[in-house]
Amino acid sequence: MSETMVRRIGLSLGADLCWVISYEEILRRLNLNIPTPNGSIRFETDRVTIEPFEIHQPCKYDVVVDRLNHWYHTSREWIKKAILMDDLYVLNNPWSIQSMEKHTTYCAMAKLGMPIPRTWLIPPKAYEPQPDLQVTLERYAKFFDLAAIGDQLGYPSYLKPYDGGAWRGVSRIDNSDGLKAAYDSSGKSLMHLQKGIDGFDLFVRCIGLGPQFHIVKYDPTAALHDRYTMSRDFVTPEEAQLLRDMTMTINSFFGWEFNSCEAIRKDGQWHLIDFANACPDSQVTSLHFHFPWLVIANLKWSLFLAATKKKFRKTLDWDPYYKVLEDKSNFSERLTGYAAIGHERMATAEFQEFCDRHLPHIDQIAFDFFHSDQAKHAIKLKVATLFPAHEVDSFTELFFERVKAWYR
């Protein structure tokens, strides 16, 4: 007797608008009915609400695509409960997001031999009053010469919070006076001072979503809507593979199936400068030309997870990476080994087979949607939240044309 099974995908959201509407509508248009030996699988999706919960209360979702748990504690704790009690699969691992700030990622990847610029951790300039703080500082906090650290590291350098996020508190430092001024204004933040890579010729972001990767030429000096450039063919095939392997290593190591890795190239050498971005920008107002890739990649990966009931990896288990570090003599061999662990954990071969068999028409469905008035309306809704009223129509048109240009 055949049975229709329903897989439910929850979208845990904050200010998200455009990608959610696109995701939901393309899924509706796909009208998937995947055959199984005992029947078929269909998919439903809805937006996760925030409300009180009892720990034994069942979770109705098979997969949750999360955009909140890096900062909203109620959602984080519900997600952790649902993983432990209900075997929920979540993008991304909430324990990893909660505990892994940028400092940890620099240390871990430097240990694996990744090309990380020299980085100092600097105690905060100011402190939140706490019991025993003063006596602790008086007994054990050493006075330090910040200018000497800056001179040893060299200029330019960058002073930035050790936990980072959205370019918050980042200062370019060109001399000791600038370092003192930036540190004096850094408040209670624990800070990194990182060696700048001056004279680079290329800045990229490699976005990873499951075993899918998209490399974008990035211009941090441009206006927000132009930072993700529309350039193509700016890296060689060998460089692209290197960037994908480094991003796969980072993402699988930390349990981040959706993450963005920033790298810069100087004199033919790549340097990883920021790669703890486990809730990457997903808005059309930033991604524009690249926005369709994100929506399609998100759909493919979440549908695969839900259909196959892939088991969520609750623990990170770093030992296999360190075994590769011990066994391989050079970085190229090590990186290949690290990436292979990631592909195994993310079931890359099974994912590709699933897409080939069940989603061969997704690009055409997405093409039709992203050329529709419905897509343009979704773009306009997001634009209206960020741009002044007199610019809404012009920027909506700009982003709509860039989205359509992806397929041309």
pLDDT digits (tens, 9 = 90+) for 374-390: 999 999 999 999 999 99
Please classify residue 149 by burial: count the beta carbons closer than 10 Å to its beta carbon, then call 0-12 exposed, 13-18 middle and 19+ buried: middle
pLDDT tens digits along 87-119:
999 999 999 999 998 899 999 999 999 999 999
Token digits of residue 156:
């330019």
Task: Calculate the alpha carbon distances from 363 to 30, 63, 204, 381 in Å.
Answer: 10, 22, 25, 24
| Over residues 381-405, mean pLDDT | 97
Kindly list the domain boundaries of the chain, sorted by start residue. 3-99, 118-195, 202-308+317-407
pLDDT at 164 over 80: no
Fold category of 3-99 in CATH: Rossmann fold (3.40.50)
Residue of 370, 372, 371, 379 whose CA lies nearest to 397: 379
**Type of residue found at 269:** Q
Sheet bearing 171-173, strands edge to edge: 119-122, 191-195, 157-161, 171-173
Out of 3.30.1490.20, 3.40.190.10, 3.10.20.30, 3.40.50.2000, the CATH code matching 118-195 is 3.30.1490.20
pLDDT band at residue 167 using 50, 70 and 90 as cut-offs: low
pLDDT tens digits along 239-272:
999 999 999 999 999 999 999 999 999 999 999 9
pLDDT tens digits along 118-142:
999 999 999 999 999 999 999 999 9
Cα separation, 185 vs 240, in Å, equals 39
Residue of 269, 319, 234, 289 whose CA lies nearest to 403: 289
Task: Calculate the alpha carbon distances from 50 to 12, 61, 74, 265, 282 in Å.
Answer: 9, 14, 7, 43, 21
What percent of the chain is modeled with pLDDT above 70?
Answer: 99
Please classify residue 169 by burial: count the beta carbons closer than 10 Å to its beta carbon, then call 0-12 exposed, 13-18 middle and 19+ buried: middle
pLDDT tens digits along 187-196:
999 999 999 9
The pLDDT assigned to 78 comes to 97
What percent of the chain is modeled with pLDDT above 90?
Answer: 92
pLDDT tens digits along 284-299:
999 999 999 999 999 9
Please classify residue 200 by burial: count the beta carbons closer than 10 Å to its beta carbon, then call 0-12 exposed, 13-18 middle and 19+ buried: middle
The pLDDT assigned to 101 comes to 87
The pLDDT assigned to 408 comes to 73
Phi, psi torsion values for 151, nearest 5 degrees: -65, -40
pLDDT band at residue 1 using 50, 70 and 90 as cut-offs: low
Give, as one character, the DSSP assignment of residue 132: T
Phi, psi torsion values for 52, nearest 5 degrees: -60, 150
Cα separation, 350 vs 352, in Å, equals 5
Could you identify the residue written with the tokens 């860039």?
402
Cα separation, 324 vs 335, in Å, equals 9
Token digits of residue 70:
């890096």
The pLDDT assigned to 358 comes to 97
Token digits of residue 324:
């590769």
| Over residues 164-172, mean pLDDT | 76
**What's the pTM value of the predicted model, to 2 decimals?**
0.95
Average pLDDT, the chain: 95
The pLDDT assigned to 165 comes to 67
pLDDT tens digits along 23-80:
999 999 999 999 998 899 999 999 999 999 999 999 999 999 999 988 999 999 999 9
Contacts of 150 (CB under 8 A, 6+ apart): 157, 173, 176, 179, 193
